Amino acid sequence: MTGLRALVTGGASGIGRATAEALAAYGARVAVVDLEPDAVRAPLLAYRADVADDASVRTAVRDAAAALGGLDILVNNAGIGAQGTVEDNDDAQWHRVLDVNLLGAVRTTRAALPYLRESAHAAIVNTCSIAATAGLPQRALYSASKGALLSLTLAMAADHVREGIRVNCVTPGTVDTPWVARLLEAADDPAAERAALSARQPTGALVSPEEVAAAIVYLAGPGAASVTGTALAVDGGMAGLRLRPE
Ligand code: NAD
């Protein structure tokens, strides 16, 4: 990664933070774009933007690219959750989550493409979710946002492959991040809820943010030069395995 320049949205916490730190550890220079830039530590650069706001995204991407001297890697990772069936979320909630999880990646990609076109090793990685490919209960809106992001990944991979820009995504299972910690805190019995979430994954354990970061670093790096239009599951076997009851 030495000499490469990366931008990670949602890089102040969880998967994004682990990804930004891993990219930097492998020698990349990294800018984080987040609502909470004060949580970002040097040597990572930090820029405040709401991916739901086009003007703030364009300014942050422009400033980050100027500071880094260009861009080679874009990680569209910023995202928010939503629970419930189609009856539980009103139109405003649908618009808000799609605005961040789907259109956030569109806006950041649009702003970054002119810089990525100048790169000899251009790659985009989107953080999707197991919810994009599996029917999870009580996750209608969130699943739709991540399913659309997965489809967008494939379409963008096709549109930009001839320009030398690769586009892939990861589909994590339940990852042990501050987001999940907040969900557990809100549960009646956090320890029992953590055990239930862990048991849902065939490996019996939550995924660590560092494992997802390692998958993103692989997809973003020169070692994956022939990999584009793929979804890499980092999900404890949730999507692929059909175990017999014990
Ligand atoms: P997190 O809440 O720990 O971190 C998310 C980061 O994104 C935060 O720093 C937050 O400030 C930032 N962010 C949120 N909305 C933003 C906006 N509008 N503009 C700019 N920044 C914004 O969450 P996480 O668990 O690390 O999740 C990161 C990504 O991974 C999300 O896209 C999420 O959907 C996806 N994901 C998470 C899990 C999981 O179990 N944690 C599983 C699958 C996919």
Region of 3 please: left (phi>0), alpha (psi -120 to 50) or beta. Answer: left
Atom of ligand 1 nearest to the CA of 14: 26
For residue 141, the surrounding DSSP H or E stretch is: helix 140-160
Please give the pLDDT value at position 33.
98
Atom 2 (ligand 1) nearest CA: 179
Please give the pLDDT value at position 244.
86
Do the interacting molecules here have an ipTM over 0.95? yes
Catalytic residues, by residue number, are 142
Residues with CB under 6 A from ligand 1: 9-10, 12-16, 34-36, 49-52, 77-80, 100, 104, 127, 129, 172, 174-175, 177-180
65-71 contacts: CB < 8 A, separation 24 or more?
65/5, 65/7, 65/112, 65/115, 67/31, 68/5, 68/7, 68/29, 68/31, 69/5, 70/5, 70/115, 70/118, 70/119, 71/5, 71/6, 71/7, 71/112, 71/115, 71/116, 71/119, 71/122
Please give the pLDDT value at position 149.
98
Please give the pLDDT value at position 64.
98
In 3D space, the residue among 160, 167, 57 whose CA is nearest the CA of residue 31 turns out to be 57
Q: How far apart are CA 115 and CA 166, in angstroms?
A: 14
Residues 6+ apart with CB under 8 A from 59: 49
Parts of the chain with a pLDDT under 50: none
Please give the pLDDT value at position 102.
98
188 Cα: distance to centroid of ligand 1 (angstroms):
23
Please give the pLDDT value at position 148.
98
Tell me the per-residue pLDDT of 144-200, one tens digit each, with 9 for 90 and over: 999 999 999 999 999 999 999 999 999 999 999 999 999 999 999 999 999 999 999
What percentage of the chain has pLDDT greater than the value 70? Answer: 100
| pTM given for the model | 0.98
Name the DSSP class of 81: -
Q: Is the peptide bond before 43 cis (omega within 30 degrees of 0)?
A: yes
Residues 6+ apart with CB under 8 A from 12: 32, 34, 35, 36, 37, 39, 40, 46
180 Cα: distance to centroid of ligand 1 (angstroms):
10
Pocket test for ligand 1, best of 21, 33, 35, 184 (most atoms within 8 A of CB): 35
